[in-house]
């Protein structure tokens, strides 16, 4: 069965420090891969997506992610975190099976220390 694992339930980072959020997926082929962000009381906002091509993907808000097929990973990174980045981050797998379906990881809550 397809699955997405985010091993870190929460992470605390100092403002200005770098960030890496981990994500591993389980699927037979390379699916669509996504990172979404959700601020309190808000819906989900797409940060970036990957399906093919360059394995380093640039997204909005200064985020990037790297796809590593050998590790089935799609980790999210940001070189310098801002206090406004505090939110919950979801890694997701998208599957096109005659209709589209997205499977989400459990999420990682990011706390930013001043």
Does residue number 90 form part of the binding site for another protein (CB under 8 A)?
yes
Answer yes or no whether residue 60 interacts with another protein by CB under 8 A.
no
If one asks whether residue 27 binds another protein (CB under 8 A), the answer comes out as no
Rounded to the nearest 5 degrees, what angle is found at the Cα of 94, between the Cα atoms of 112 and 42? 40
Query: How many Cα atoms within 13 Å fall on the side-chain side of residue 6?
Result: 25
Q: Does 59 bind another protein (CB under 8 A)?
A: no
7-15, 16-24, 73-81, 91-99 -> range binding another protein (CB under 8 A): 91-99
Tell me if 84 contacts another protein by CB under 8 A: no
| By CB under 8 A, residue 45 contacts another protein | yes
Q: Which residue in this structure is represented by tokens 């339930």?
A: 9
Spatial contact of 35 and 45, defined as CB atoms under 8 Å apart: no
Q: Interface residues with another protein (CB under 8 A)?
A: 32, 34, 36, 41-46, 49, 51, 90, 92, 94, 96-107
């Amino acid at each position: 069965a397809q699955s997405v694992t985010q091993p870190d339930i929460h992470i605390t980072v100092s403002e200005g420090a770098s960030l890496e959020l981990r994500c591993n997926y389980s699927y037979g082929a390379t699916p669509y891969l996504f990172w979404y962000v959700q601020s309190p009381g808000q819906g989900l906002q797409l940060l970036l997506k990957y399906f093919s091509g360059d394995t380093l993907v640039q997204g909005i808000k200064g985020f990037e992610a790297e796809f590593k097929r050998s590790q089935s990973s799609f980790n999210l990174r940001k070189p310098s975190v801002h206090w406004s980045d505090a939110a919950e981050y979801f890694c997701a797998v998208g599957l096109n099976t005659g209709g589209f379906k997205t499977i989400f990881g459990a999420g990682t809550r990011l706390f930013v220390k001043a």
